[in-house]
């Protein structure tokens, strides 16, 4: 198992009165994390009712990363997510209903059921896709960053991936490429300690699968507490500043833990006893609620946010249940740019 970063135990730092983030942003970060948690928890519940079909990969317990980056990103910045991408999609402001609708394969889903859980995309929100082939989207994010560089735009491409991705070739090709071309791209490794069912440490030559490879590409070694949304937010802002200034890519390894299995088929029995419980003590939402209290936010404010989020998720659920299935005529639409699928005359 990977070592905990020093900052994780640094209560003094967390309790620092120095509030560089501010209350408005903190409440936003909290609300976002709660929304990601409740929406995904709802997705899980809907599985059990057989209303969500196919597969699904939850990031329960990892919300601080998607929330921290999502809140730090500006309109125009682009997100590239993985098949575990519900949270990162929601974190760009995509309505819960559009995501749950896609998971429930309804006509109101983001892609009207043509993509499914693993391919959530909302171009209008800057979510340029969720990619289900490990590592594929790292070079794609480089290409989007190349466009920004070529056009002189200041937007940043942010590419989220898991620890398992660091052992596939595309990871290494993309890092080298991004550094050589000095691209405005931020690579975010969510190290949840497991590549699917296997501990990442069992199959990786270095302790920190992303950060320990950074020096091979001339990048600084950055490991942060991925369960602390403030830390994530700060790391994101720093990386964005570098990218927007034309100083190239960053690679950030966020230490975290997923509360559920790899996918809905996985009960996660491979985890040592007590590990999950230990990490649940460091639940990002629990940490953040304490943080809010330290900064003087009252329980009533916190409960109000919780209730509002729950209302959003409940409303979305009902809307999706009432939504029709996709119309059958979309089976053959949008294969080609003419809107159809014709390959011959």
Partner 1 sequence: MAELTYRDAVARGIAQEMERDNDVVFLGEDIGKAGGVFKATVGLYEKFGPLRVRDTPISEQAILGAAMGAAMTGLKPIAEIMFSDFFAVCFDYIANEFPKSRYMTNGQVKCPLVVRTGNGAGSRFGAQHSQSIENWAMMIPGLKVVAPSTPLDVIGLMAAAVRDPDPVIFFEHKSLYATKGEVPDGEIVDTLGTAKIVRPGKDATILALALMVPRALEAAERLKAEHGIDVEVIDLRSLVPLDTQTVLASVARTHRLFTVEENPRLCGWGAELVSIVADEAFYDLDGPPVRITTPHIPLPAADILEDLALPNAERIADRVRRSLEG
Shortest reach from residue 85's CB to partner 1, in Å: 13
What residues contact 143, with CB distance under 8 A and at least 6 apart? none
CB nearer to partner 1: pick between 42 and 98? 98
Q: Residue 161 carries which DSSP code?
A: E
CB nearer to partner 1: pick between 66 and 140? 140
Q: What is d(CA 335, CA 345) in angstroms, rounded to the nearest whole number?
A: 16
CB nearer to partner 1: pick between 140 and 186? 140
Shortest reach from residue 281's CB to partner 1, in Å: 39
Shortest reach from residue 131's CB to partner 1, in Å: 8
Q: What is d(CA 53, CA 49) in angstroms, rounded to the nearest whole number?
A: 10
Instruction: Check if the beta carbon of residue 64 is closer than 8 Å to that of residue 226.
Output: yes
Shortest reach from residue 202's CB to partner 1, in Å: 25
Q: What is d(CA 190, CA 188) in angstroms, rounded to the nearest whole number?
A: 6
CB nearer to partner 1: pick between 61 and 326? 326
SS3 at position 306: helix
Shortest reach from residue 120's CB to partner 1, in Å: 9
Instruction: Check if the beta carbon of residue 30 is closer than 8 Å to that of residue 238.
Output: no
Shortest reach from residue 259's CB to partner 1, in Å: 28
CB nearer to partner 1: pick between 62 and 79? 79
Could you give the dihedral angle defined by the CA atoms of residues 283, 109, 160 and 58, in that order, rounded to the nearest 10 degrees?
30
CB nearer to partner 1: pick between 142 and 224? 142
Shortest reach from residue 121's CB to partner 1, in Å: 4
Task: Report in angstroms the alpha-carbon separations of 296 from 17, 187, 219.
Answer: 11, 34, 38
Burial bucket for residue 242 (CB in 10 Å: 0-12, 13-18, 19+): middle
Shortest reach from residue 186's CB to partner 1, in Å: 14
Nearest alpha carbon to residue 248 among 256, 257, 239: 239
Instruction: Check if the beta carbon of residue 209 is closer than 8 Å to that of residue 156.
Output: no
SS3 at position 28: helix
CB nearer to partner 1: pick between 48 and 343? 343
DSSP collapsed to 3 states, 97-128: HHHHHHHCCCCCCCCCCCCCHHHCCEHHHCEE
Instruction: Check if the beta carbon of residue 38 is closer than 8 Å to that of residue 309.
Output: yes
Shortest reach from residue 69's CB to partner 1, in Å: 18
What residues contact 125, with CB distance under 8 A and at least 6 apart? 89, 92, 93, 94
* Other beta carbons less than 10 A from residue 218's beta carbon: 12
CB nearer to partner 1: pick between 112 and 262? 112
Chain contacts with partner 1 (rule: CB under 8 A): 78, 110-112, 114-115, 119, 121-123, 128-129, 131, 133, 136-148, 150-151, 157, 169-170, 173-174, 176-177, 180-181, 330, 333-337, 339, 341-345
CB nearer to partner 1: pick between 267 and 340? 340
């Amino acid at each position: 198992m990977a070592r905990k970063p020093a900052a994780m135990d640094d209560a003094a730092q967390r309790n620092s009165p120095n509030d560089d983030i501010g209350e408005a942003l903190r409440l936003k970060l909290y609300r976002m994390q709660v929304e990601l948690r409740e929406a995904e928890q709802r997705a899980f519940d809907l599985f059990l009712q057989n209303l969500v079909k196919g597969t699904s990969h939850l990031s329960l317990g990892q919300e601080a990363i998607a929330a921290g980056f999502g809140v730090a990103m500006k309109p125009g910045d682009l997100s590239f997510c993985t098949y575990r991408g519900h949270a990162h999609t929601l974190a760009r402001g995509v309505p819960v209903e559009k995501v749950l609708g896609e998971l429930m394969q309804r006509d109101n889903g983001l892609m009207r059921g043509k993509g499914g859980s693993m391919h959530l995309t909302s171009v209008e929100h800057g979510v340029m896709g969720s990619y289900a082939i490990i590592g594929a989207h790292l070079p794609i994010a480089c290409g989007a960053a190349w466009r920004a560089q070529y056009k002189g735009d200041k937007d940043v491409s942010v590419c989220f991936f898991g620890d398992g991705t660091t052992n596939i070739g595309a990871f290494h090709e993309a890092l080298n490429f991004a550094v050589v071309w000095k691209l405005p791209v931020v690579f975010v490794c969510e190290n949840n300690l497991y590549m699917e069912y296997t501990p990442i440490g069992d199959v990786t030559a270095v302790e920190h699968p992303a950060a320990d490879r950074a020096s091979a590409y001339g990048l600084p070694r950055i490991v942060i507490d991925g369960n602390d949304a403030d830390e994530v937010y700060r790391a994101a802002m720093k990386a964005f500043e570098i990218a927007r200034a034309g100083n190239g890519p960053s690679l950030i390894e966020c230490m975290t833990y997923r509360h559920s299995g790899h996918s809905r088929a996985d009960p996660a029995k491979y985890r040592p006893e007590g590990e999950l419980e230990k990490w649940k003590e460091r639940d990002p939402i629990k940490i953040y609620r304490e943080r809010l209290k330290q900064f003087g936010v009252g329980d009533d404010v916190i409960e109000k946010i919780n209730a509002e989020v729950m209302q959003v998720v409940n409303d979305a659920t009902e809307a999706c249940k009432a939504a029709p299935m996709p119309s059958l005529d979309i089976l053959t639409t949008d294969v080609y740019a003419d809107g159809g699928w014709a390959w011959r005359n």
